[in-house]
Copies of this chain bind each other. A is one copy, B any other.
Amino acid sequence: MRHKIASLFPVITTVKHYRGKLAYADASAALIVTLMLVPQSLAYALLAGLPPEVGLYSSILPLIAYAIFGTSTTLAVGPVAVISLMTGATIANVNNALSYSPTEIAVALSLLSGLLLLAMSVLKLGFVVNFLSRSVIEGFVMASSILIIVSQLKHIAGVEIHGHALTETVSSLYQSVGDTHIPTLLMGIAVLVLLFLGRALFKPFLTRLGVSGHAADLVVRMFPAIMVVCSILVMNFTAAGESGIRVVGHIPNGLPAFQLSRLDTELFGNLFMPALLIAIIGYVESISVATRFAVKTKTTIEPNQELLAMGASNISSSISGGMPVTGGFSRSVVNYDAGAKTPLSGVMAAVLIGLLASGLMATLALLPKATLAAVIIVAVASLIDINKLKETWLFSKYDFSLTAITIVTTLLAGVETGVSVGIVLSIILHLYHTSKPHIAVVGLVPGTEHFRNVLRQEVETIPEIVGIRIDESLYFANATFLEKAVIEQVTQLPRTQYCVLLFSSVNDIDASALESLESIYEKLSNMGIQLHFSEIKGPVLDKLQKTHFYDEIKECTHLSHYQAVMHLSDLLHSSNTTKQT
């Protein structure tokens, strides 16, 4: 019982072993993380089409919830780019029909994805996320980054644009080039250049000065916060303040009240699919970040507990009027580099952000939107990785085509459709792939007991005995193909008297495949060929032994392919001898 509670609330173990030294490390990391989280949270709220304070609200309770339930010592939770993009798209699509404010929809969305994550945890459905293949993730991350960058160009140019889809945005941007607000553009470009230069020049400069790689990284990662402060100062103390550069504007001081009352079942019905995809994608993002750091810190991530923690984080975000959240990569890097030792550093960061939110809102009113847009652009630009695409192309055209289709669909129809198409397509392609399994005629590698593909290696064969290795588990999708392929192979080798199916790669067999085997057995009998089996694995043999078919083939199954071939060639010799005498 006590053990169960401890595994449900990892925070208990942390608190038990907490000491001054750990607290110091956590606190200093929290300070640095806060400096990074504030501009990011504001920016991602803007990306989702929400008032900027919603971003801050989403970075307080979720941090605490994750600290209580999460199993990673490093993961930092809050709004992230892709999830904010998806939230924005959902708001744009749902808002037309129902009279909810964007914030209300975001709150409902984070509540619903939180509940779905909890349900997945309780029902142990974590395996569902496995259907999001590497190739699909790669595709939609790349496409989302492009969508995000394009969506922010309006803030950099200081123009109003209409529409949400990529084509609309681009054509609207093109039409309003003439309306570009020069002071905003200058501000935006200045921040962009400074942020990029920070990455490209300032870090090498610092390291040459003798600053450690870690520390230099941290300084560069503080650049967004520095840009926020600088642009507020510029707006306050220079002529830029009167130039009409669009700013974040008045933000209500203090924390939001609980506001779930207006939400109804119709809204939840509309949000179900987007919430599910946000839950799955958010979980995949956070678990992959958490796993990466677990390798470094030699700790363990418990996937099912992580589902629970993500669920709790999202529900707590909705309770405090926030948007969907997940564990982000860049903030977790900062947390790790800044030396956070336990999840309690997240709690400290939450307190700091809470203090900022309740005190400093008025100051943020002067923050230019162009600055936030530049922060977003720089954050996601690095996700567009052409080299990775090249590597995928080299590794497999099949994986590459999945990535390419996901990219194109995401760009043209949005993340939700892109990801759905990617998932469905990867399942169909996988089934198609396994529906035409690789089969190989095998022969003996001289001097060993091993059998290999006759097309790939120099091997010895006996014309009367054909060994066929089947390189796939047998199930409904490949049952008919198997039948056709085996008969074709044997027909091409007219001297065949025995056909031995080498089952070393057959890991499972279902009712459709059993029927195919029976049919192969019958057809080969008609051709005067006896069917044998070798190296049937335990689980497959267990199943076969329960069938009537097994009574017919019992005498024809052999432990190893070598034994099978030896036995059958003995039979051949003795029958030849009989014929001669």
Nearest chain-B residue to A456 (Cβ)? B538
A543 touching B395, Cβ below 8 Å: yes
Interface flags for A536-562 (1: CB within 8 Å of B; 0: not) read: 011100010011100000000000100
Which residue of chain B has its CB nearest to the CB of A471?
Answer: B507
Q: Which of A130-138, A270-278, A335-343, A367-375 contacts B (4 or more CB under 8 A)?
A: A130-138
Among the stretches A78-86, A194-202, A217-225, A508-516, the one at the interface with B is A508-516
Q: Which residues of the partner chain B approach A131 to less than 8 Å between Cβ atoms?
A: 431, 476-477
Shortest Cβ distance from A403 into B: residue: B511
User: In the complex, A321 Cα to B234 Cα: how many Å?
Assistant: 81
Is A416 close to B, CB under 8 A? no
Bound-complex Cα distance A456 to B535 (A): 14
Main secondary structure of the interface of A (DSSP, over half): helix
Q: Which of B295, B427, B481 contacts A519 (CB 8 A)?
A: B295
**Interface check A21, CB cutoff 8 A:** no
Contacts of A547 in B (CB 8 A): 391, 394-395
| Distance to closest chain B CB from A492 (angstroms) | 14
Cβ–Cβ contact B507 & A504, under 8 A: no
Bound: A38/B504 CA distance, A: 52
A305 contacts partner chain B, Cβ-Cβ < 8 Å: no
Give the docked Cα–Cα distance between A546 and B391 (Å).
Answer: 8
Binds B, one of A47-55, A357-365, A446-454, A458-466: A446-454
Contact B511 A438 (CB under 8 A): no
CB contact under 8 A between A135 and B512, given known A505-B505, A538-B453, A538-B456: yes
Residue pair A510, B396 in contact (C-beta under 8 Å): yes
Given the complex of chains A and B, what is the CA–CA distance between A232 and B434 in angstroms?
55
Residues of chain A at interface, number, CB under 8 A: 66
In A107-137, which residues have CB < 8 Å from any B CB? 127, 130-135
C-alpha spacing A472/B547, complex, angstroms: 24
Residue A9 at the B interface, CB < 8 A?
A: no
Within the assembled complex, what's the spacing in Å between the Cα atoms of A511 and B537?
27
Within 8 A of B (CB), among A240-257: none
Task: Tell me, rounded to whole Å, the shortest Cβ–Cβ distance linking A207 to chain B.
Answer: 25
Is the C-beta of A420 less than 8 angstroms from some C-beta in chain B?
no
- Of B398, B430, B438, B560, which is within 8 A of A448 by CB? B560
Bound-state CA distance A522–B295 (Å) is 8
CB-CB under 8 A from A508, the residues of chain B are 433-434
Asked if B298 and A526 make an inter-chain contact with CB atoms under 8 angstroms apart, the answer reads yes
CB distance from A573 to the nearest CB of B (A): 23
> Does A144 have its Cβ within 8 Å of any Cβ on chain B?
no
Q: Are B130 and A479 in contact (CB under 8 A)?
A: yes
A317 at interface, CB cutoff 8 A: no
Instruction: Assess the A127–B436 pair: CB atoms within 8 A.
Output: yes
Determine whether A435 belongs to the interface, using a CB cutoff of 8 Å to chain B: yes
B134 touching A512, Cβ below 8 Å: yes
Nearest neighbor of A537 in chain B, beta-carbon distance: B471
Give Cα A507–Cα B298 distance, bound, in whole angstroms.
32
Contact B507 A133 (CB under 8 A): no
In the complex, are the beta carbons of B295 and A526 less than 8 A apart? yes
Q: Does A181 contact B (CB under 8 A)?
A: no
Do the beta carbons of A548 and B391 come within 8 Å of each other? yes
- Any B CB within 8 A of the CB of A172: no
Answer whether residue A183 sits at the interface, using C-beta atoms and an 8 A cutoff.
Answer: no
Whole-angstrom CA separation of A512 from B512 in the bound complex? 29
A73 within 8 A of B: no
The 3 A-B pairs with the shortest beta carbon distances in the complex, nearest first, are A133-B476, A134-B512, A471-B507
Contacts A395-B511, A427-B431, A505-B505 aside, 13 further interface pairs with beta carbons under 8 A come to A127-B477, A130-B480, A291-B519, A303-B480, A391-B547, A395-B514, A395-B543, A395-B546, A396-B511, A396-B543, A430-B431, A430-B477, A456-B538
